[in-house]
Amino acid sequence: MDSEDKRILSLLQTEFPVVARPFDALAARHGRGPCRGRKRLGTEPAALVARVRHLAETGFIRRIGPVFDSRRLGYTSTLAAARVPAERLAEVAERVSRLPGVTHNYERRGDYNLWFTLTARSEKEIARTLDALGEETGIVFHSLPALAVYKIRAVFGADEATSGGPPRKESSPAELDDKQKQLVRALQDGVAIEAEPFVSVAERVGRPVEEVLAQIRAWMEGGVIRRFGAVLAHRRVGYRANGMAVFRLPADRVDEAGRMLAKRPEITHCYCRPPLSDFPYTLYAMIHGQSEEAVRALADRLAQEISSADYALLFSTTEFKKSPMRYFEPEDRP
């Protein structure tokens, strides 16, 4: 991956235009003419498509598409944690990964060694799912839902400006009709890397392209879609270490500390979660870096900045599952 690839990946994460011919727009916006502070791609649209397709085929790009806000679609989610005997970890993780509502499933170093996200239509459904898993495996699964969200922005790249972003705005679920749900299903796996990627989406839902584009833009404006762009394989682009830093803080200091951590570009996710009796941490931050040493050094500095003497850093060691959530599937009922 050369410097031009890095520039392209940086831009695609946050500047993918929701227009009929997005690569034409990108090439024109960042082409060889005056760019007024923007980085130039210096390539023609067809060459840009070919280069982006190559980045996807070689594993740098997982997909290009929307990152939906689950709550705005009427879903709820949680982070689940469990202590699993080492000799059973692969077996239990495989069972967890089979659940359609599990999008991320990792082994992390620590007493709590299995961590996964679970999304469902209600908190009751989440509780039922975890109870059933517990009965089947004999493992206790703890639900740690987000009590406050300070940052969700998994953006990676050399361009520091792409790593920030506004805090998430909480709002009530959007009311979607059947056509809109159909469009969500058509978009959730991403769009094709081609000159007119929204044409096939429009054909799948039987609607004009401009209508599809207008709906996507409206969802972005209303927060149903947090961003539309490339989702990268962070290890492939150089972020080989990621650690979940957890901090123990008094309740009246968590919000201030969370807002401080959210400003750091190395942090992609930051939440307040409930403590467990044997895991008393309430502030969670995902830190990405090029090495474990770099992540540890940053976690140490952050702990000092927010005055948290009691904290832990859980590195992910095995990725059992990482996939986009599939919404409004036939078996998915409220």
- Concerning whether 104 is annotated as a catalytic residue, the answer is yes
β-partners of residue 316 are 108
Query: Does an H or E element contain 70, and which?
Result: none
Helical ranges in 58-187 per DSSP H: 89-97, 123-137, 178-187
DSSP string, 38-54: SPP----HHHHHHHHHH
Residues in the chain: 334
Give the number of other Cβ atoms within 10 Å of residue 175's Cβ. Answer: 7
Hey, what are 74's tokens? 């009427």
Distances (CA, A) of 113 to 129, 132, 213: 19, 20, 42
97 φ, ψ to 5°?
A: -65, -20
Closest CA to 133 of 102, 110, 107: 102
Helices (H) then strands (E): counts for the chain: 10, 11
Assign 3-state DSSP to the chain and report helix, strand, coil percentages, each to 5. Answer: 35, 25, 40
DSSP string, 18-30: -SSSHHHHHHHHT
Identify the active-site residue in 54, 104, 234, 269: 104
Q: Is 157 left (phi over 0), alpha (psi -120 to 50) or beta?
A: left
- Which residue type does 47 have? A
Hey, what are 131's tokens? 């109870």
List, by residue number, the catalytic residues.
104
